[in-house]
Amino acid sequence: MHKNKLALLLALSISIVSNFMTPLAVRADEVQELNDEISAREELVAPAEEDASTSAEELTEGDFTYYLKDGNAVISKYKGSATKLTIPDKIGGHTVTAIGDWAFFDVETLSEVAVPATVSIIDEYAFASCDSMVSIALPENLNILGKSAFQSCKSLKSITIGKNIATIPNYCFSGCDSLSEVTFASQTSVKVIGDDVFDGCNGITVMDIPDSVETIGVFAFSGCAALKRTKLPAKITKIDEATYFSCSVLSKIYIPATVNTVQNLAFNSLNKGGVDVYYGGSEEQWKKITFGSNNEELTGAKIHYNSTVEDYNKDGGKTPETPDKPEDPDKPENPDKPENPVTPSENKPETPSENAPAAPVSSNTVVRGDASITYGAEIVFPGKKYSASNFGTITISYNGKAYTAAKVKINKKNKTLQITKITPADKKAQKAIKKLTKGNNALQFKITPYAVSGNSAVTAKVSKSNELKKVTVDINGSKYKCGKDEYSYEPASKTITFKGENLTGSYTLK
């Protein structure tokens, strides 16, 4: 049991989310806290007298280990191998009222679970890493969910948050790759959505947060690669750091007029084709919002002022660009003019510069000490020069604050990078992050070959004997001199075929 739990700590600390990776900020102090907790339970360290639960005698019935608290049973371990499991409402003649921490952790066989109506508490890591669990029926009377209760349940498809749950704690569904449907009870009591709760839930396409919610934590919905639209609750005043970071197809957002602060990276790396924001207040109110750094995709979005939730739902809303105007019956129609002309600057994303580095092929999240770092772990070969921008927006969550990497140091031979400068400026954090990504702790990356085509800027000299000399390819605005082992040449067709780790494709000399 001890080894399994330590394995979970390691897995959670270096969790990788496929498709589009996202931050999973499991910090060193939390890992240490969990290690201490595990050691105390596994070594049966004597508890403080006032803590009766940890000193309770463990009992066994069938595949369940449990202990008694206030005369009721708390399941502390499941040792079975069922695929479909209905947890009993009574064990040893005692009513089951709680699922203890780690109770069903890493039970790989479970696919369907039903929790009895008598249970009001599901504790920390209770079902974490149940990789095969597709569904779990939670009771209406459930009052408390523990931190990371369902973290990394990679097959879980849907979940219903009952009416009595007031807090969805940190990491509760983080890394649930297949989670696509989150349902809140019609009379939900949820007021708090903690840090990283739905981080990396790649199946969610819509997240309309109920109006009962007053607080949303950092990285709450980061890396939700399929999330297209979201409605923020009516009482929210602050959108915390990196809340929707790396939601790469998010294009439609409702923000109530109550919001007065948008923290760093709250809306970063969103839909490249443009974003529509339905804002509940006026243009004057919007201008008074305090925006943190790296929220340009929000501030540069198309804003529909004075919008209602109904406008958001029906693609309506009023914008300063398209105000409501009465028709002019005396104005003649112009058949040669389209009804809704769009100016070049209206609602169009900027065309990337030819010298702009290619976006990373894939991203990764790693933990280094107290820092959780998300960066492009596989990048397109950048040519002669490497920079931080080659790795996308490198984000760092350190001691509860969000930063981005401004400069990196590259080791081309080992394919590693060290973060040497961060924004916003913070000397203490920068020094720590620089140290945490140095030497053996440097961040590893892979190279995808740069694709050369007929439109590429290629130069070469052909000798009298039809041999190529000095072949160069313009990559990101700089000329990269190719090694002789990076290409072959067919004189008859004048075609250069590129090969090797750095380049691919072909080019025909003019």
The Cα–Cα gap between 430 and 405 comes to: 9
Q: Are 408 and 418 in contact (CB under 8 A)?
A: yes
The tokens of 326 are what? 């009465």
Backbone angles phi, psi at 286, to 5 degrees: -60, -40
CA distances from 143 to 70, 157, 161, 167, 214 (A): 17, 22, 10, 9, 18
pLDDT at 283: 94
d(CA 502, CA 498) in angstroms, rounded, equals 9
Count CA atoms within 13 Å of residue 454 on its CB side: 4
Q: For residue 361, what pLDDT is reported?
A: 67
Alpha carbon distance 215, 180 (integer Å) = 22
The answer to whether 227 and 221 have CB atoms below 8 angstroms apart is yes
Residue-level pLDDT at 510: 78
pLDDT at position 319, please? 34
Amino acid in position 81 = S
State how far the Cα of 71 lies from the Cα of 257, in Å rounded to an integer: 49
Query: What's the pLDDT at 156?
Result: 97
Task: Give the model confidence (pLDDT) of 88-138 as tens digits.
Answer: 999 999 999 999 999 999 999 999 999 999 999 999 999 999 999 999 999
First-last CA distance in the chain: 68
Non-local (6+) Cβ contacts of 363 within 8 A are 20, 21, 22, 246, 374, 375, 376, 377, 392
Predicted confidence at residue 329, as pLDDT, reads 40
What pLDDT score does 468 carry? 83
- Residue ranges per domain, the chain? 201-327, 362-448, 450-508
pTM comes to 0.57
Q: Which CATH class is domain 201-327?
A: alpha beta
Q: Are 458 and 448 in contact (CB under 8 A)?
A: no
The predicted structure's pLDDT at residue 356: 57
CA 167 to chain centre: 20
Residues of the chain with pLDDT under 70: 1-55, 315-361
User: What is the reported pLDDT for 357?
Assistant: 64
